[in-house]
Amino acid sequence: MKDQNSKKKPYNKWLSLINIPFQMGVIILLGVFLGRWLDKIVFDNEKQLFVIVVSLLSVFVALYNVIRQVNSLNK
């Protein structure tokens, strides 16, 4: 049983870094769609205020997610 565990390849940290751009893109895209939905359907806002606010908030959430993942890789 120990032979099987010793033959496993070591965990590659670069593999987890590959997913970060996709995660950022999905978070920001969902934020933009949520802002558009709030402006058009819920509040009927012509100035697209919610698109700007929610998309900026989603950028900060995506950056926080990246910082959290990179910090966990360093430990």
Residue with tokens 């959430």: 61
- Residue 51 resides in a domain: yes
- Which domain range does residue 21 map to? 13-74
- Residue 6 resides in a domain: no
Query: What domain count does the chain have?
Result: 1
Exposure of 40 in the CB half-sphere (CA atoms within 13 A): 6
pLDDT at 2 over 70: no
- Residue 1 resides in a domain: no
Helices (H), the chain: 2-6, 13-18, 20-37, 49-74
pTM of the model as a whole: 0.74
Confidence of residue 27 (pLDDT cuts 50, 70, 90): very high
Confidence of residue 75 (pLDDT cuts 50, 70, 90): confident
pLDDT at 28 over 90: yes
pLDDT at site 34: 92
- Residue 39 resides in a domain: yes
What's the chain's average pLDDT? 84
